[in-house]
Structure formats: structure tokens, C-alpha cells
Copies of this chain bind each other. A is one copy, B any other.
Amino acid sequence: MVTWGKRRSVRQETPRLRPRVSPTDLARVDFTELVPDPVPFLGQAAYIQLEFFESLAKAVATAPTLPAKEGLSAAAGVALRKHHALIAELRLLGVEPDDVMAPFAPATDRFRQASAGADWYELLLGIHVTSGMLDGYFSRLSSGLPSELGARVRSILHEGGSAIVLETELRSAIEAQPGLADRLALWGRSLVGDTLLIARSALRASDSADRWGAQVEPVFTELIADHTRRMDALGLTA
């Protein structure tokens, strides 16, 4: 899904979890060097928003109070607007969104189930952490898209309003329930690995997999720094 840009100086490697070559042999890659293929980029980003919508709708349905239900319904609306706006971009490119999204469905569905948590609070933190990281990730990646499309995608993904709702609900729950902070801190940490795998899969579409192999840690370092800030804001140790 992502090909390297003009500045690339990347060794051709087959994908693997641990590179066989020593790290110093590998090029370091940051966001400005990534050039995603628009169609799968939009398809994966759109399907991920649909999954956030489903998680938020579940949070609406199981909300313990009407104000929480109300706030989360607005957040669900934001995810749905992002989904439909990304779908509209796919249609502008002349492709059928369902066909483009379908390959991403199984892994994204599993990801949603894995980040749903054991109760409503874990569900909320799961959405907050994973949508925070992935919206930031796709937004940064979009700088490698053709410039007008990239600007539209950033504007779509930057629609706010969800994070504040999730943060408000989580904060008041953490204050009210002793012990919840420790449990949620653990849960938040456990979400990072799966989220980075989804982010990584966005860099490794089948047709460009053989060009994969650079050190993308610099890319992920920014995501993890954002994650830490997000957890700090809730008073949770990341």
C-alpha cells in the first residue's frame, strides 16, 4: 500500500518481523518519505473508521447514563462522517469502495474485537487509544498522497469532538472508582502492540511488500509519543 518516495535509499528486503541484516544496514524512514497508494490507503482508512463507528455504537448502546449515551452518539456520528467522506474520495477515484475495503475487513474486525475490552470503560479506552493513534497515523501518512487529496484526507481525519467525549467519561470514571486507573493503565499498554500492527499493515500492501524492510521505528516513535501524551492526560501511566 505504501511505496517509497524519491528520497528513498532503501535496501530491498522481504518482509519479516526481525531483519536479518544488522540495523545499521537499514535506511531509517520517516513519514515524509512514505508515498501511499491512494486507493488501498483510502480503503483501509475508511474501513477502520467504520470499525470505530461500530465500537462507538456499542458504547452508546451500553452507556450507563443518558448524558454519556448522548455524548458518545455524537462521537459515533464523527466516525461515521469520516467513513463516508473517505468512501466519497474512493468514488471520486472511480473505484467501488466495498471492493477496496474488503481485503482489510478480516484483520480490522479482529482488531476491533481485540480492543473492545472487558467492560464499558475498557471499550472507551480502547476506542480512545486506537482511534487516537490511527487517526494520527493516517493523517500523517496522507502527506505522501497527491497534495489536494492529502489535504482533503487530513481535513476529514481532523474532525474533532470524539476524543474530548471519551476523555471526559474516562476521567470522571477514573476519579470515581478506585483501582480503575491501574486496570486501565495496563489495558492501555496492551493496546499499543495491536495498533502498531494495523499501522504497519498499512505500509505493507501486497504489491509493495517486496520493497519493505527499512527501519520504520522513527515513524512509530511519533505514534507512541502521542499515545503517551493521551494516557498522561487521563492520569494513566503509558
Contacts and interface: CB of A to CB of B under 8 A. Distances in A.
Tell me how many chains of this kind the complex includes: 2
A76 interface: yes
A80 B83 contact: no
A129 interface: no
A87 B71 CA distance: 12
A84 B77 CA distance: 9
Interface stretch (A52-60, A119-127, A212-220): A52-60
A74 interface: yes
| Chain A interface, DSSP helix/strand/loop, else mixed | helix
Interface stretch (A24-32, A95-103, A139-147): A95-103
Interface residues of A, number: 25
Given A80-B77, A84-B77, A57 B66 contact: no
A189 interface: no
Contacts of A101: 66
B70 A97 contact: yes
A105 interface: yes
Interface in A120-157: none
Given A57-B60, A60-B54, A61-B57, A98 B70 contact: yes
Contacts of A67: 98
